[in-house]
Amino acid sequence: MSSPKLIMATKLTKCIQSNINNNNGNIFVRSSPTLSSSLDSFEDLYDDESDEEKKVALETIYGLNGEINTYLLSWPRIISNYRYNKEEIVGSKKLQSKLAELFNISSLLAIDKYFPPFECIRYYCGCSMDIDRGIKKWIHSIKMYKQYKMHNITENELVSCFKTLSKSIAFGGYDCDGCRIITIKYSLFYFNEYKNLNIFLLAGFYLFYYLTHDVDAHRNGVCLLCDLTGFSLSNFSFTVEKNGIQFFQKVLPIRIKKVFVVNAPWIAHYALKLVLPLLNEKIRKRVFIVTKEELYTISAYNGNGGENTETNKTIMDEKNLPTLVGGTFDDEYMNDNNQSFFYFVLLNYFKKTINLNHFNVDFNVD
Domain ranges across the chain: 4-68, 85-147, 156-348
At residue 278, does pLDDT exceed 60? yes
258-267 tens-digit pLDDT: 999 999 999 9
128-149: pLDDT as tens digits: 999 999 999 999 999 999 999 9
Q: How far is Cα 12 from Cα 7, in angstroms, rounded to an integer?
A: 9
Other C-beta atoms closer than 10 Å to the C-beta of 328 total 19
**From CA 180, how far away is CA 88, in angstroms rounded?**
20
Phi, psi of 257 (to 5 degrees): -90, -30
Q: In this predicted structure, what is the pLDDT of residue 80?
A: 81
Q: Which positions ≥6 away from 345 have C-beta within 8 Å?
A: 9, 61, 62, 171, 210
Mean pLDDT, residues 15-38: 38
pLDDT averaged over every residue in the chain: 79
| Burial call 9-22: b when 16+ CB within 10 Å, e when fewer | bbebbebbeebeee
Least confident stretch, 56-70, 96-110, 303-317: 56-70
Residue 305 has pLDDT above 60, yes or no: no
189: pLDDT strictly greater than 70 = yes
**What gap in Å lies between CA 61 and CA 5, rounded to an integer?**
8
> Which pLDDT score is estimated for 22?
44
Question: Are residues 126 and 138 in contact, defined by beta-carbon separation less than 8 angstroms?
Answer: no
Lowest mean pLDDT among 11-15, 16-20, 186-190: 16-20
Percent of the residues in the chain that have a pLDDT greater than 90, as a whole number: 49
Model confidence band, residue 33 (pLDDT cutoffs 50, 70, 90)? very low
pLDDT confidence bin for 229, thresholds 50/70/90: very high
Most confident residue range from 92-101, 141-150, 168-177 = 92-101
Reported as a pLDDT band with limits 50, 70 and 90, residue 25 is very low
Contact 232, 267 (CB under 8 A): yes
The whole-model pTM stands at: 0.77
The pLDDT value given to residue 72: 54
In percent, how much of the chain has pLDDT > 70? Answer: 75
Across the range 210-219, mean pLDDT stands at 82
Give the amino acid at 300: A
Give backbone dihedrals phi and psi of 225, rounded to 5 degrees, phi first: -115, 115
Give tens-digit pLDDT for 230-255. 999 999 999 999 998 999 899 999 89
Environment class of 72 (CB within 10 Å of its CB; exposed 0-12, middle 13-18, buried 19+) = middle
The one-letter amino acid code at 190 reads Y
- CATH homologous superfamily for 156-348? CRAL-TRIO lipid binding domain (3.40.525.10)
Task: Go through the chain and tell me how many residues it has.
Answer: 366
